[in-house]
Structure 1
Amino acid sequence: MNPYFKKAFIELIGIEGGYVNDPTDRGGETKYGISKRSYPHLDIKNLTLQQAEEIYYRDFWKANGLDNIIKYELALELFDTGVNMGVGVAPRFLQEALNLMNRNQRDFPDLVVDGKIGPVSIAAYKKVDDRILLKVLNGLQFRRYVEICEKRPDQEKYFNGWMKRV
């Protein structure tokens, strides 16, 4: 298992916490951030930390190709975004961010925003400033949270908690 994943998992669990069954949470019954909505076959209330770790590694870390990310901070950002917003969102945000950062440069062509971190996305990622990339990713994440609150005002109660992730 990737050593970055272990460290990121520990940080994520610190954010996600334990068992919650908030009727206004779109994920429904949740433990360690694993939701009944996404995993209807699981007994969420009795989910173990080890089971959560296996799910996160398989369905979020590996599925998003995060073993290919060189810098821990970026891997953590993409992992956390994928967990909070959906597994396909994080790689799309990365590709959108890289396309934005390439607007007046031709170091790499615009990427197809397909939600898959493959060799072309990795090559483009290696050509940008990581600090700027993290800021662009956070901006995209912030914009998405605002859009959620605008569409569903009942979700505004989660906004301050979401901001801790940005």
Structure 2
Amino acid sequence: MPHPTTLNPYSHDFQHAVAFVLAKEGGYVNHPKDPGGETNFGISKRAYPREDIANLTKERAAFLYHRDYWRPVRCHELPGGVALAVFDGAVQHGTGTAARLLQEILGVNTDGIIGPISLRAARQADAEWLTARYVLRRARLYARIQAKDPAQSAFIEGWFNRLRDLTDASWQLGYSTTRAA
């Protein structure tokens, strides 16, 4: 019988996080007001012009999310609930913005790159407080997006519902400090 990690190479925290994102993003969408254009499982044609978005599988989406979002913002090194919040922020706003939001809250240099200083500060912070502040900071970002582009108001209720559900999912995941890839 194959080793369990052969069947699913992802950590429990990533599996939980990607399940949350996939559930929120849904399947194939081509909404005319979405600046990402054609999307499937939240993977956009704008971000991935070489992907066959219409035929994208959940497994391929999970691979892309792990490689291009989870690992670059070093979620595998953050407390579980914080990792989920930052990962979801990376999916919604890009890795640089997600990192800067976290760094602003932590009071460290906001260079958009999660390095040793950001990780140390995140591990030393109260994880529940950090998650709550991160979610609140994202709400402010959504409000600015809507103010800058009123056409985005079509999405505001969904964005705030997502943040509510993200808070619940973060607490379900917990705040242990032991991380795996």
Q: Same fold (TM over 0.5)?
A: yes
Shift of 1:28: 0.2
Q: Is the CA contact (8 Å cut-off) linking 1:18 and 1:32 kept in structure 2?
A: yes
Residue of structure 1 equivalent to 2:109: 112
Q: 1:7 aligns with which of 16, 24, 30?
A: 16
Q: Letter of the aligned partner of 1:121 in structure 2? A: S
Residue in 1 that maps onto 2:47: 38
Give the Å deviation of 1:72: 1.3
TM-score, structure 1 length as denominator? 0.89
- Cα drift, residue 121 of structure 1: 0.9
Q: 2:162 aligns with which of 156, 161, 165?
A: 165
Aligned length: 154
1:81 aligns with 2:98: no
Aligned-residue Cα RMSD (Å) equals 1.0
Structure 1 SS opposite 2:124: coil
* Partner residue, 2:105: 97
Correspondence list, 1:116-127, <5 A: 116-127=113-124
The structure, 1 or 2, with the larger RCO (C-alpha pairs under 8 Å, 6+ apart) is: 2
Q: Which moved more, 1:131-140 or 1:34-43?
A: 131-140
Contact 1:34/1:44 (<8 A) preserved: yes
The answer to whether the Cα contact below 8 Å between 1:95 and 1:113 also exists between their aligned partners in 2 is yes
Structure 1: how far apart are the matches of 2:111 and 2:53?
31
Q: Report the AA paired with residue 46 of structure 1.
A: N
Runs ≥4 residues deviating over 4 A: none
Letter in 2 for 1:50: E
User: For structure 2, which runs of at least 5 residues remain unmatched after alignment?
Assistant: 1-9, 164-181
TM-aligned CA deviation for residue 165 of structure 1 = 2.4
- Unmatched runs of 5 consecutive residues or more in structure 1: 100-110
* 8 A Cα contact 2:81 2:128, kept in partner: no
